[in-house]
Structure 1
Amino acid sequence: MDNTADVTEPAPGAGPADTAPAPSTAAGPAGREVRATSRRHVLAGAAAVGAAIGAGALATSPAAAAAKASGTAPTSFTAGRPVLFRGATVITMDPRRGVLPDTDVLVRGTTIESVGKRLPTPPHATVIDAAGALLLPGFVDTHRHMWQSALRGVGAEWTLGNYFQWIIQKWGYLFRPEDIYAANYMSKVEAVNDGVTTVTDWSHGARTPDHADAAVDALFAVPGRARFAYGNAFAPDFGWVVDGRVDRMLKKRFNGRADQLITMQLALDINGDTDDARRALKFARDRDLPVTTHAGLFGIVGDDQIKLLKETGSLSPSYTLVHASSLGDDAYRIIADSGAQMSVSAESELNAGQGYPATAKARQYGIPISLSMDTVVWWSGDMFSAMRATLNADRGLAHLRSQEAGKAVADNALRTHDALEYATLGGARALGLDRLIGSITPGKRADLVMLRTDAPAMTPISNPVAHVVFQAGRGDVDTVLVDGRVLKHRGILVDVDLPRARRLVEESLQYLRSKIPDQDWEQALNPPAGTTTP
């Protein structure tokens, strides 16, 4: 049996008779042939699968090949029609359910209706043959500067100082609202494609109301779930928070419902105890607006920032501290007592120098953890990489400290299950959405990711959770649902306009390059190499 998704319409057992209908064909979700067939017909075709696996998919029609080349795909997923995943290994991230082999998941409307063995097939359901595949909750990224996507990879050699030099002090002022739109549009398409079903747009490039509107327009234009974190790194103070523009945005674009696909919070970098900072924090508390802050940045903000947030009564479970990696024990105790969240960006912290990833400290004090990617100017937008970097950093430090003391670590403390939880349920919790998403639990919204398992690195699977964390990658993301809507299937985006995203962001890069002197561009790509110190 092929372990990639196969769509059957109508589903076996959906008709009035017990016998399977004769095979017929129709346009499929990726432009491929979709067969209405019995289990016997699928098994009979298994011999032909081997040749197709080398190409990473079942044999497809010429239309499907053309669709995959262009990055678009027609779809036969009809709105309102139930979707049934049949026979998956379901990594629920629900502590009561765990990992369920050979299990079905039924999605009806926006919701996960049932999880169980051999579920009955509702009439007119679309059945995805998930035998052998891994089905897990969608990833939740709690901190990504989506507005910088046009400059993808430019800062691969940067430190945090280089980032401030080029992005904040120089190039950020060049971005027009249309550049913000293009970057956010592409960044959200990338997130959906990679199985990140909820992405936090840490939008501190929103230096004017037009820039903010453009960022939000792009988030709404691409299907999927997102959190708009309204920020402004280019303002001299926090006057922009209280001058009416945030209230206008709330009234104009956000209805206040937690189940809206695009929700809002504030992104406030509190770098000192000032009257306007206190006013901005009070503004957020008065409106019950969640807040996210870059915290614990080595040499920039430290324990005093945490003390101010405590003094003003700002810390709470709806407050997320990004990085929080250069703090003292008293600061971590304050965070833990408040119930505030931490967003760890291990790729960022290890490469840029904000401080060492603080997962060990967070676990020591019981601080909830989520994961994030920061910015593709430097690193990837890959949540698989985020999980690996988090584990590598935490375990590496534990081994180093033990070896410095002349000892060896007997057992690793941080586990792969922890990393996957941070990337799913932990992210949902940080955004206050854990009652809606983050686990495969009946009654929750259907934000799901299915990983195909026919690639060499995905074969065989003995430990599903560990396999997701250490073996899988973005290329294994076969199917993505957000709020019950199929946005990717058989590796091809559905109703998501990748060609438009590419065109917009390439045009934006062309414009930005026209404004950046060649000498600056070359210096940014190739900053002076540092010296290695012990």
Structure 2
Amino acid sequence: MGTERHHSPRLLLRGGLVIDTAPHPVVHPHTDVLIEEGRIAAVGRGLPGDETDTGLEVIDARGLIVLPGFVDAHRHLWQAVLRSAAVDESLDSYLGRILGDLSGRFTPADVYTGNLLGALECLDSGVTTVQDFSHVQYTPEHSAAAVEALEEAGIRAVFGYGYPVFDDTARRADWVREVRARYFPSRDALLTMALAPVGPSFAPPETVREDWLLARELGLPIAVHVTAGPVAMQPITALQEQGLLTTGTLYVHGNSLPDSELRLIAESGGAVAITPAIEASMRFGAPMAGRLRRAGIPTGLGADAVTSAPGDMFSQMRAALMSSHFDGDGNGDGEAGTATVKAADVLRMATAEGAEALGLGGEIGSLGIGKRADLVLLRADALNLAPVAHDPIGAVVTAAHPGNIDTVLVDGRAVKREGRLVYGELGSVLDTAHRSAERLAASAS
């Protein structure tokens, strides 16, 4: 790793404004959190322990908001070196230029740099877990670079092995098996794996079946983009007809799908990741948050692509909340002020529901005893947040930003302290990212 990160076997956060998110968001003022061996051991007032206890580190959390780390349920980390490259572009333009042209110009070194930069950006902004939908696997070397960058960053991640959208020659089951065996021998690790195929909206049925059977063979969950596509207008029905609807599948976007498709997702035990900023800017369709709430589908939030949208979860929470208010219930016929999606719902999407969507609900996403200690501490006395007495949950969702973050913990390890990433070679990472971006821009001009 870039540097040894601070890790104490026992850590006590003393007197913070604690926000838990399960079973629903609730605020606990003046509350302590005890962490032992990377897991939450106790939450309550007046927990025993002070600086004189051997092996116990105490962090004074008075004046800080303590909450679960954010879960980004859909993100293409490799695109971090293409930041803001497609802000004003349509979806078709993005597909053609970013996924069609620039994607194929990425070397394994570019992928490593993008993934490392993107993962560090996540940690800096309080995202402790990310679903990295990595559809840039042109060679085994590209895959190795992507995974090794995640390891270097120290983030919790679900690596979504994805095929390049416009290069079917790279769709190699043997490469997937190799990555699974080499990097993901255990399902109980900081990094886990999923398969991220093109899916039924865009791929022929025989290809879809092969991909789903491969995931089943390797014991991998699936993450897949879904829309009323050129191959299947109703992609969930297409999966059902092939007997491929499986519990734990993560469907991404789905703005153009009818309610009948959402019912199939709910009935089959699937989840949905929405990326409200991208979905609005590229006009994917009506906002999804309200529809998914009514359908009872676990919903995660994602930044998607920093080519076109912000990379922090505060921005995504606001986008989800405000877009759901646009029509009241998400289907275009409500009235302003009648929205069924509240700030607490959006915070759950960014934490507990995002974790559930990734199949990690038993490990992260809330402050339950025994869960992994993935936490974010925000400075409650910042000018843009204070005072938080009226509605701390609403303040986090609508007013906070990454600059308010004091501390970030992953597995009880501090990856950010006192407002600064605990990473020794950050300057080198940025220099390499600049060189990668300049080379890619020049090669495409």
- Match in the other structure for 1:56: none
Instruction: Give the whole-Å Cα distance in 2 for the aligned partners of 1:441 and 1:400.
Output: 31
Amino acid at match of 1:267: A
Residue in structure 1 matched with residue 194 of structure 2 by the alignment: 265
Partner of 2:260: 330
1:427 counterpart letter in structure 2 = G
Please name the residue that 2:152 is paired with.
221
- Secondary structure of 1:466's counterpart equals helix
- Flag the 1:397–1:238 CA change in 2: closer, same or farther, 3 A: farther
Deviation for aligned residue 1:455: 1.5
* Correspondence for 2:378: 451
Instruction: Give the distance between the partners of 1:335 and 1:416, measured in 2 at CA.
Output: 24
Query: SS in structure 2 opposite 1:454?
Result: coil
**Whole-Å Cα distance in 1 between the matches of residues 424 and 381 of structure 2?**
25
- Report how many aligned residue pairs link the two structures: 438
1:499 and 2:427 equivalent? yes
Q: Distance in 2 between matches of 1:314 and 1:204?
A: 21
Contact 1:140-1:199 within 8 A present in 2 as well: yes
CA contact (8 A) 1:267 1:291 kept: yes
Counterpart of 1:185 in 2: which secondary structure?
A: helix
Corresponding residue number in structure 2 for 1:355? 285
In structure 2, the partner of 1:475 is 403
Tell which deviates more after alignment, 280-289 or 135-144: 280-289
Larger Rg: 1
> Matches of 2:30 and 2:121 in 1, distance apart?
30
What residue identity is the alignment partner of 2:105?
Answer: L
Q: Distance in 2 between matches of 1:96 and 1:308?
A: 34
Whether the aligned pair in 2 keeps the contact of 1:266 and 1:291 (CA below 8 Å) is yes
Partner of 1:332: helix, strand, or coil? helix
Q: Distance in 2 between matches of 1:139 and 1:300?
A: 34
Aligned pairs for 1:222-241 (under 5 A) are 222-234=153-165, 236-237=167-168, 240-241=171-172
Q: Tell me the residue number matched to 1:184.
A: 115
Larger displacement relative to structure 2 (375-384 or 91-100): 91-100
Return 165-174 or 368-377, whichever deviates more. Answer: 165-174
- Quote the Cα distance in structure 2 between the aligned partners of 1:216 and 1:205: 12
3-state SS, counterpart of residue 488 of structure 1:
strand
Cα gap change, 1:166 to 1:363, in 2 (>3 Å): same
1:412 counterpart residue number:
339
TM-score by length of 2: 0.93
CA distance in 1, matches of 2:329, 2:183: 49
Q: Could you tell me how far apart the structure 1 residues matched to 2:139 and 2:289 are?
A: 35
Contact 2:73 2:358 in 1 (8 A): yes
Query: 1:143-192 deviations in whole A, cap 9, x for unaligned?
Result: 11111111101111011011012112221111111000000010001001
Instruction: Name the CA shift for 1:141/1:112 in 2 (closer, same or farther; >3 Å).
Output: same
TM-fit CA distance, 1:281: 1.1
The answer (yes or no) to whether the contact 1:295–1:302 under 8 Å persists in 2 is no
Partner of 2:308: 378
Q: 1:175 aligns with which of 106, 127, 133?
A: 106
Tell me: CA distance 1:142–1:396, structure 2 relative to 1, closer, same or farther (3 Å).
Answer: same
Letter of the structure 2 residue corresponding to residue 355 of structure 1: G
Match of 2:20 among 92, 97, 111: 92
The aligned counterpart of 2:275 is 345
- Structure 1: stretches of 5+ with no match in the other structure: 1-71, 518-534
Q: Within 1, Cα distance between the matches of 2:122 and 2:159?
A: 14
Q: Deviations over 1:374-408 (max 9, x none)?
A: 10011111100111101111111228978x68xx4
Deviation at 1:82, TM superposition (A): 1.4
Conserved? CA contact 1:323–1:343, under 8 Å: yes
Q: Which residue of 1 aligns with 2:325?
A: 395
1:481/1:276 CA distance change after superposition, 3 Å:
same
Q: Taking structure 1 as reference, are residues 88 and 82 closer, same or farther at Cα in structure 2, changes over 3 Å only?
A: same
- Of residues 164-173 and 381-390 in structure 1, the stretch that sits farther from structure 2 once superposed is 164-173
Provide, for residues 427-469 of structure 1, a one-character-per-residue CA deviation record: whole Å limited to 9, x for no partner: 1111111111000111111000000122111111121111100
Rounded to whole Å, the distance in 2 between the matches of 1:219 and 1:401 is 38
Whole-Å separation in 2 of the counterparts to 1:222 and 1:128: 24
SS at structure 2 position matched to 1:169: helix
Corresponding position of 1:46? none
Distance (whole Å) between structure 2 residues aligned to residue 272 and residue 235 of structure 1: 11
Deviation at 1:232, TM superposition (A): 1.4
SS of residue paired to 1:458: coil
SS in 2 for 1:170: helix
Quick check: 1:222–1:496 contact (8 Å CA) kept in 2? no
How far apart are the structure 1 equivalents of 2:297 and 2:426? 38
Choose the corresponding residue for 1:421, options 348, 358, 361: 348
3-state SS of the aligned residue for 2:32? strand
Name the CA shift for 1:300/1:465 in 2 (closer, same or farther; >3 Å): farther
Summarize the alignment of residues 275-294 of structure 1 with structure 2, pairs less than 5 Å apart: 275-294=206-225
Match of 2:94 in 1: 163
1:124-139 equivalences in 2 (<5 Å): 124-139=55-70
Q: How does 1:74-93 map to 2 (within 5 A)?
A: 77=6, 79-93=7-21
Q: Secondary structure at the match of 1:456?
A: coil
Residue 300 (structure 1) shift: 4.4
- Alignment-mate amino acid for residue 129 of structure 2: T
Cα deviation per residue 1:354-390 (whole Å; 9 max; x = unaligned)?
2222122212221111100110011111100111101
**CA shift in 2, pair 1:409/1:507, >3 Å:** closer
For 1:398 and 1:412, locate their aligned partners in 2 and report how far apart those are by CA, in whole Å: 4
Deviation at 1:199, TM superposition (A): 1.1
Within 2, Cα distance between the matches of 1:410 and 1:345? Answer: 22
SS at match of 2:350: helix
Q: Which amino acid aligns with 1:160?
A: L
Contact map agreement 1:91 1:99 (CA 8 A) in 2: yes
Percent of counterpart pairs with the same letter?
Answer: 37
1:117 and 2:48 are equivalent in the alignment: no
Residue 282 of structure 2 aligns to which amino acid in structure 1? A
Between 502-511 and 112-121, the greater mean CA deviation after superposition? 502-511
